[in-house]
Structure formats: structure tokens, C-alpha cells
Structure 1
Amino acid sequence: MSKYFDVGYMIQSLPTLLSYIHVTLMITAVSAVLGILLGSLIAIVRIKKVPVLNQILVVFISFMRGTPFLVQLFLIYFGVPEIMSHLGMNVRNLPGLVFVYAVFTLHIAAYSAEIMRASISAVSQGEKEAAMAIGMTELQSYVRIILPQAFTLSIPPLTNLIIGMLKGTALVFNVGVVDMMRRADLMGGNSQRYLELFVDAAIIYAVLIFIVTTAGRWIEKRYTVGERQTERVLLSEE
């Protein structure tokens, strides 16, 4: 058995791969926060149908949702420096992670924009009218009534989106970023024990995804409870 699969080597290699987990976590966390914030702004612009900007964002969303993520990664990593150099700006010396953050953020923004737009639209018109009827301004109705409910509705799809991007970090080694997968590939080249190393990577990704899924369910449950308490307070005020 050890000839084809060395359990000892797999266990021995696990700490080395875990030492690169911070790259995966940073890419996912930073891109998720920035992407969801940007996506929320895009969703508001689309709901308000801001002239010109709305049409530009429709094209942006269609492009990001209609092309493979790896193609987007190559376009931004290799294409943006080339374009900037023709404009007289040299960005080739920037760390590769800068471009990785950019493509992940834009990708998440495109998908989260549609998620948030659908979630906001799913809030019943009656609740919006009721908020206005008790004297709330449009901003107050969004902050206290619409957005909390929209956020609750969006938690499951946003969690799935973050999970997809967490898996997508396995592709960043294609542009020279040294993460878990790149380290596993390098170690496999030296030891010719690719299977053990990729099993290690699979275990690490599975644990991370389990944690994200559990956190998403906890946030959804906690936010739903908080929303119900807020509704009780509003009813008592009314």
C-alpha cells in the first residue's frame, strides 16, 4: 500500500501546506468583503436605474457572469499591466496578489449585485409602504426595514458564492501566486507523491468549506432572530 500511497508522507506534509493557508484565507476574506460591498452599491444603482451607469453595469455583470473565472484571471493579471504600460503607467512591479484581489473582488461584485438586487426586490411592497406610513424616510425604511430583510434573504446565496470563491483560490497558482496548491505542486515535483499532497489539499479545503457553511448558517439564524426582535420593537412603537 505504501508504494502507491504513503500515509506517513501525507501526514508529514500537512503542516507545510497548512503554513500557506493564510494566502487562501486572505484572498477569500478581503475579496468577499470588498466584493459584497461593491455588489450592494451596484444593486442599488440598478434598482434606481441610474441613466448610463446602469447600462454600463449591465454589460459588466453580463461579462463577469458569462466568462470563465480563469479567463478573467488571465485577462486582469496579464492584460491590465499591458494596457497600463501603453498608457504610460508601469504596474508590472506590483505584487501578483494585487491583481488576484482585483479579479476576485470584481467577480464577487458581479454575482453579489444580482443576489442583493433580487433580495431587495423580494421584500414586499406592503412593508415598504407601511414604513413610509409611520413616518420613516426612504433612507430609514431601507436601513431599518428593507435592507435587514434583504440581507437575511441573501445570506444563503452569498455563502454559496463565498464557498465558490474559496474553491476558486486553487486557480491562483496559474499566475505564479504561491498558495497551498502551488506548494503542493512543487512538493509533488520533488517527491513524486502528488496523490498524498492533493489529498492533504482536499482535506484542508473541505474543512474550510465546512467552517464557512457552518458560519453562514449561524449568521442566518442569528440575523433572523435579530430581525424578529426589531419587528417587535417597531410594532410596539407603532
Structure 2
Amino acid sequence: MGAAFDIAYVFRFVPMLLTTLDVTLRIVAGATLLGLIAGLLVALPRLYRVPVLQNISQAYVSFFRGTPILIQLFLFYYGLPELLKFAHIDVTRAPVLLFVIATYGLNGGAYMSEMIRSAVLAVDRGQAEAAYAIGMSGYRTFTRIVLPQALPVALPLFANAVIAMLKDTSLAFTLGVMELTGKSQTLGMLTRHFTETYLSLALIYLLISLALEKLFRQAERRLLRHEREPSADVPRRSRRMRLLLRRPAGKGDVSL
């Protein structure tokens, strides 16, 4: 049984848990970068329908989206070193954090590949064909035509993927990584105030998620800053037009 609930422990545990925040953020940052690279490499064969690579990419996405992240952590940490032994590669002394980042990065790459593919397909194909028709190269067409329109579509999906990855890092403690959740487990065992520990942990995750959400929202507004917004006087002009149509035609007016 745990100790009696004491709200003071909730605020006392927050600075203790924050000492391991850098580990969680390193996992998220490293996995996000790896996920973007993997997602792009996986999305390209499916976008351009490369015969063999397209099937491999589909299998990759199906595996990482169809199996739990916890099972993937165990497979990479315990199974990958055994497989690499056949190639005479010893990774048993590699830091566990590398296995965690690799697992989360490859898992995130499966979702980000779908994000990239859907964002690119959302851009009108005719615009790319018109760019090719006037002599633009494939690289310039992608960077000048496709990418500026695909980014606003992909950014909300990317934000969801990053925030979901942040919350999924709570499973890294199962491999002995002392991140936020691992630290909370230790504090709970030492003090027996489990409820207060988890409330502190939930508060930290919530604040980080809200900060990321605000950051991505600002980035999305910046990407859409050139979009034309409806004029504020449109309703006023509409009412004026209705009044003009209702008014009897007078001298100099054109009756409709």
C-alpha cells in the first residue's frame, strides 16, 4: 500500500523529475530526425511506384504500424544484437539509448512516410506538370511548387506524430533508460507516494505537449501567412448590394 495522499509531494516531485527531462527530449529529437529521414526514404518509392522498393516500403510501414512499440523495443534491444552476431558485428556494448532512439525513429518513420505521401499527393498534379512544361527541373519543381504547398498540409500531422512520440517515450524505462517515467518509478518506490508521483509526471507531459502544440501552431500560421483571408467588409458590401437591388430604378440607374 502507498502512503497517504499529500498534495505537497506533487510540487516537490516536479523539480526532481525535471532532472531527467533532457533524456526524454534527446529521445524525441533524435527519433524525430531519424523518423523524417526514414519517412522520406520510404515515401519516395511509393510516390514514384518503384517496383521492388515499393513492396519493401509497404512491408516496412505495415510492420511498424501493425505492432506495438513496446514489442519493437524488445525486438531491437534483445533481438538485433543476436542477428548482427551472424555478420560478426558486436553491438552489445552500445548504449541502450541508441536502441531506444533507433526504435522510436523507425517507428515514427512509418507514420511520417504516410504523412509525406499524403501531403505531396494533396498538391495538384497539374501544377507540377505545368512546371515541367516550362522547363523547370524536378528539384526546382519540388522545392518551388510542391514543397511550399505540401508543408502546411503535413505540419499538423507532423505535430501529432511528435507529441505522440513524446508520450510513447514513457515506455523507454522498460529497457532501463532513466527518463521521466523511469525517474517517477524510482521516486514512487522510495517515497511510497505513487499517486503524487504520477500526477507530477502527467503535469510535466501536459505542459510539454501544450508548448509543442503552441510552437507548431505558430509555425503553421507562418506557413499560411500568404494565404488571402476574406475581407472584413464583404458582409457590409453584400448588404449594400442587396439594398441597391431593392431600390426602385431612378434617373441614371440601370433597371435590372
Q: TM-score, normalised by structure 2?
A: 0.84
Q: Provide the secondary structure at the position in 2 that maps to 1:84.
A: helix
Q: Distance in 2 between matches of 1:85 and 1:178?
A: 28
- Residue 147 of structure 1 and its aligned partner are, at CA, apart by 1.6
The residue that corresponds to 2:31 in the other structure is: 31
The residue that corresponds to 2:85 in the other structure is: 85
Paired residues for 1:218-237 under 5 Å: 218-225=218-225
The residue that corresponds to 2:76 in the other structure is: 76
Paired residues for 1:14-163 under 5 Å: 14-163=14-163
Q: Distance in 2 between matches of 1:156 and 1:54?
A: 26
CA contact (8 A) 2:42 2:57 kept: yes
- Residue 130 of structure 1 and its aligned partner are, at CA, apart by 2.7
The residue that corresponds to 1:181 in the other structure is: 181
Structure index of larger Rg: 2
Counterpart code for 1:138: G
Q: Distance in 1 between matches of 2:167 and 2:38?
A: 21
The residue that corresponds to 1:234 in the other structure is: none
Counterpart code for 2:176: G
The residue that corresponds to 2:232 in the other structure is: none
- Residue 10 of structure 1 and its aligned partner are, at CA, apart by 2.0
- Residue 179 of structure 1 and its aligned partner are, at CA, apart by 0.7
Counterpart code for 1:214: K
The residue that corresponds to 1:170 in the other structure is: 170
The residue that corresponds to 2:243 in the other structure is: none
- Residue 212 of structure 1 and its aligned partner are, at CA, apart by 1.0
Counterpart code for 1:168: D
Question: Which deviations, in whole Å up to 9, do the C-alpha atoms of 1:122-157 show, x marking residues without a partner?
Answer: 101222123224332222111101022112110011
Number of aligned residue pairs? 226
Q: Distance in 2 between matches of 1:179 and 1:216?
A: 24
The residue that corresponds to 1:197 in the other structure is: 197
Q: Provide the secondary structure at the position in 2 that maps to 1:130.
A: helix
Q: Distance in 2 between matches of 1:132 and 1:219?
A: 30
Q: Provide the secondary structure at the position in 2 that maps to 1:216.
A: helix
1:208 aligns with 2:204: no
Question: Which deviations, in whole Å up to 9, do the C-alpha atoms of 1:181-238 show, x marking residues without a partner?
Answer: 1111111111111111110000000001001111111111111226x59xxxxxxxxx
Q: Distance in 1 between matches of 2:206 and 2:14?
A: 14
CA contact (8 A) 2:34 2:102 kept: no
The residue that corresponds to 2:236 in the other structure is: none
Q: Distance in 2 between matches of 1:173 and 1:20?
A: 12
Counterpart code for 2:180: M
The change in CA–CA distance for 1:129 and 1:87 in structure 2 (over 3 A counts) is closer
Q: Distance in 1 between matches of 2:176 and 2:12?
A: 25
- Cα RMSD for the two superposed structures: 1.5
How high is the sequence identity, in percent, across the aligned residues? 37
Q: Provide the secondary structure at the position in 1 that maps to 2:90.
A: coil
Q: What stretches of structure 1 move > 6 A for 4+ residues in a row?
A: none
- Residue 176 of structure 1 and its aligned partner are, at CA, apart by 0.7
Q: Which stretches in structure 1 are left out of the alignment for 5+ residues?
A: 230-238
Counterpart code for 2:71: V
Q: Distance in 2 between matches of 1:148 and 1:77?
A: 39
My pick for the range that moved more, 199-208 or 41-50, is 41-50
Q: Distance in 2 between matches of 1:144 and 1:4?
A: 61
